[in-house]
Amino acid sequence: MKDDDVFAVLTLGLRTPPQSYSADALSLRLPFFFAGKTFDVTIAGTRGDSGADEVRSLYATVIPGMHPRDLFVFFQRARFVAGERMARVGNNFAQVSVYDLQAVFKPLETARELAYQRYFQPDAAVNQAAEWFRRALAVAPPVALKGVGGAIPAQQLLKQLNELDGVFFGDLYQNIKPLLSASPEIQERGCRLLRNYKNILTSMPAQDASAVLVAAKLDQALIEAALAQCLARSIANGSSESVTAVTITTHIHALETAQAATETSRKLVGSAAKVLRTMSP
């Protein structure tokens, strides 16, 4: 990971699983503040059946409080069983059983916990399971819904999975923010990280970026105001020779078009734009 990278994606997997075992890769998003830290990730091949006894065992397992290393192993086991169950049911959701719902619920719950604890990045298989679960909830018999605590807790889990990107970007911003008021050298790094942070958001479809900001409880205007302060500080210190009138105008436009969520943030962007106008070459 480079010094200015906001995060890096690390994908781990077994090149050759043992015979009769299956193993899918896992992806983690390593944030910049994890640089230099170590933690265990266990990749394990899985096999077994997806019968009622196995599903009951999985569903009875308490996820909160489980050690992250055990979470990784459990997730791989639960994902295998869910895949078998979903393949068996297909799109015949009217016939979905309590064991089918429980089998798919568990890897989704574990994926959420891994994302919270170790920044696990849900992959296509998790997203597919979430979509299958969403469709199954809409038509599943009441007796099956009771097996996962009812429709409301199940819908809450899906909502939390949808907001994982927001939680991740919220954590990133909260760890960048203190750097912006530290020593000058650290401030410079914080500004570079914040610029890259915004670039990542800008590269997303507008609807996705908006959803991330909402889930992260972030105000776009505050991000733009912080970037404007970075630019103003750089100009004042004479540390940025490449700043042109176009650069400043671009920042002013970003400030003026930013969606401010509060009156405080509206005042901040207005003040920042006023400062930049005085610095235009």
Residue-wise pLDDT for 148-202, tens only, equals 988 889 999 999 999 999 999 999 999 999 999 888 889 999 999 999 999 999 9
Q: What is residue 226's predicted lDDT score, i.e. its pLDDT?
A: 84
Shared domain for 135 and 193, answered yes or no, is no
Q: What is residue 112's predicted lDDT score, i.e. its pLDDT?
A: 95
Q: What is residue 279's predicted lDDT score, i.e. its pLDDT?
A: 63
Per the listing, tokens 């970037």 go with 227
Half-sphere exposure of 34 (CA within 13 A, CB side): 19
If one counts the domains in the chain, the total is 2
Reduce the DSSP state of residue 26 to 3 states and report it: strand
Q: Which residue range(s) make up the domain with 98?
A: 7-162
Shared domain for 145 and 194, answered yes or no, is no
Instruction: Note whether residue 227 is domain-resident.
Output: yes
Shared domain for 115 and 247, answered yes or no, is no
- State how far the Cα of 77 lies from the Cα of 106, in Å rounded to an integer: 10
Instruction: Note whether residue 173 is domain-resident.
Output: no
Mean pLDDT of the chain: 84
Closest by CA to 77, choosing from 108, 115, 46, 35, is 46
Closest by CA to 167, choosing from 231, 114, 205, 240, is 114
Closest by CA to 121, choosing from 169, 51, 58, is 169
Q: What is residue 219's predicted lDDT score, i.e. its pLDDT?
A: 82
Cα angle: 220, vertex 224, 230; to 5 degrees: 150
Alpha helices in the chain (DSSP H): 52-60, 68-89, 98-118, 124-139, 142-146, 151-162, 164-176, 184-203, 206-216, 220-237, 245-257, 263-279
Shared domain for 11 and 150, answered yes or no, is yes
Shared domain for 127 and 215, answered yes or no, is no
Shared domain for 151 and 236, answered yes or no, is no
Instruction: Note whether residue 45 is domain-resident.
Output: yes
Q: What is residue 7's predicted lDDT score, i.e. its pLDDT?
A: 94
Q: What is residue 260's predicted lDDT score, i.e. its pLDDT?
A: 63
Instruction: Note whether residue 220 is domain-resident.
Output: yes
Give CA separation, 277 vs 171, 231, 266, 270, 271, in Å.
32, 12, 17, 11, 10
Instruction: Note whether residue 169 is domain-resident.
Output: no
- State how far the Cα of 130 lies from the Cα of 132, in Å rounded to an integer: 5
Instruction: Note whether residue 176 is domain-resident.
Output: no
Q: What is residue 232's predicted lDDT score, i.e. its pLDDT?
A: 78
Instruction: Note whether residue 15 is domain-resident.
Output: yes
Q: What is residue 50's predicted lDDT score, i.e. its pLDDT?
A: 79
Consecutive 10-residue averages of pLDDT for the chain (281 residues):
86 67 79 81 70 92 89 90 91 88 95 92 91 91 85 92 94 95 90 94 92 89 83 69 60 66 67 67 56
Shared domain for 142 and 204, answered yes or no, is no
Shared domain for 17 and 122, answered yes or no, is yes
DSSP assigned state of 120: B
Shared domain for 13 and 101, answered yes or no, is yes
Shared domain for 36 and 140, answered yes or no, is yes
Instruction: Note whether residue 30 is domain-resident.
Output: yes
